[in-house]
Amino acid sequence: MAGKVDPKQYVAKGTGFHTMIGWILLILGFLVALAITWGIALIAWVVLLLIQHFMTKRSVAALRGSALRVDHEQMPWLYQATKEMADRLDMDHCPDIYISESNVQNAAAFKQGSKKTILLTDDIVYGMQSRGNEKALLFIVAHELAHHALGHTGYFRSNISTIYKPLSRLDEFSCDAVADALVEDLEASKDAITVLLVGPQLFDRVNKDALERQARSVGTDRYAKKAEKYMTHPLLLRRYQAIVDRYTGSSLK
Q: What is the pLDDT of residues 31-74, one digit of tens each?
A: 877 778 776 766 776 677 676 666 666 767 777 888 899 999 99
Q: Where does residue 16 rank: exposed (0-12), middle (13-18), buried (19+ CB within 10 A)?
A: exposed
pLDDT band at 250 (very low <50, low <70, confident <90, very high): low
With contact defined as beta carbons under 8 Å apart, do 179 and 7 qualify? no
d(CA 141, CA 19): 24
SS3 154: coil
Q: Which regions of the chain does DSSP assign to beta strands (E)?
A: 68-70, 96-100, 108-112, 115-121
Q: Where does residue 189 rank: exposed (0-12), middle (13-18), buried (19+ CB within 10 A)?
A: buried
The pTM (predicted TM-score) of the whole model is 0.89
